[in-house]
Chains A and B, each alone.
Chain A
Amino acid sequence: EAQVTQNPRYLITVTGKKLTVTCSQNMNHEYMSWYRQDPGLGLRQIYYSMNVEVTDKGDVPEGYKVSRKEKRNFPLILESPSPNQTSLYFCASSYDMTSGGYEQFFGPGTRLTVL
């Protein structure tokens, strides 16, 4: 089944404790992206990746890191989480943008709480 998976689905942590949220897709997509969703603010893009080893900042990259060492995986890293990073996080993937189409496939979400 074609899908985007995220782990963990739920995470409660404390300020300053490094964490990684994994994202994997099995559709051979070139483009991958991370979003956070907060009440009243909609979806905001954190980072995106056009392909392996190619990443760039979205609208709200502060406090986050990403890496794209393999085409299928795009982990989101919070080196020193803070309470303002408490949010619902979505990973998404898409075919190469140059071939047309912005149909992104979203993962199920990771609800993160930073105490």
Chain B
Amino acid sequence: LAKTTQPISMDSYEGQEVNITCSHNNIATNDYITWYQQFPSQGPRFIIQGYKTKVTNEVASLFIPADRKSSTLSLPRVSLSDTAVYYCLVGRMDTGRRALTFGSGTRLQVQP
């Protein structure tokens, strides 16, 4: 299974752009990269998913370089409500074992 590494914590201010990077050096050819957000005492919530290059939705952007050994979640203009833990997840899409491994998570603190 591809292991992921993320910064333990990050601080930001309201209105700033936040970039959280996840390292996954052993990512396999068929692995996708997915990011989740988790608030205290709640289950994680899907944010965005990608395989290569750039993906953007109404919430965030995901940047994946050509070698796919890392990925960066970009949150534009964060607000206080974006204070949460963000998890990077790498998982397979082929017919083999489909266990999923979460990273240790990055605790983002947004201040006014």
Q: Which residues of A contact B (CB under 8 A)?
A: 4, 31, 33, 35, 40-45, 48, 50, 56-59, 90, 92, 97-98, 100-109
Kindly supply a per-residue 1/0 record for chain B positions 82-104, scoring 1 wherever the CB is within 8 Å of any chain A CB and 0 otherwise. 00000101011101011111111
A101-B49, A102-B91 given as contacts; is B41 within 8 A of A50 (CB)?
no
CB pair B98 A42 closer than 8 Å: no
Q: Nearest-CB distance from A52 to chain B (Å)?
A: 15
Contacts of A98 in B (CB 8 A): 93, 95
9 smallest A-B Cβ distances: which pairs? A106-B43, A43-B102, A103-B46, A102-B34, A42-B104, A42-B105, A58-B99, A90-B43, A42-B102
Contacts of A57 in B (CB 8 A): 99
Known: A48-B100, A102-B49, A106-B43. 4 other contacts (CB 8 A): A59-B99, A90-B43, A103-B46, A106-B42
Closest residue on chain B to residue A108 by CB atoms: B43
A103-B46, A103-B49 given as contacts; is B1 within 8 A of A41 (CB)?
no
In the bound complex, CA of A12 to CA of B89 (Å): 31
In the bound complex, CA of A104 to CA of B36 (Å): 9
CB pair A102 B42 closer than 8 Å: no
CB pair B46 A104 closer than 8 Å: yes
Contacts of B95 in A (CB 8 A): 98
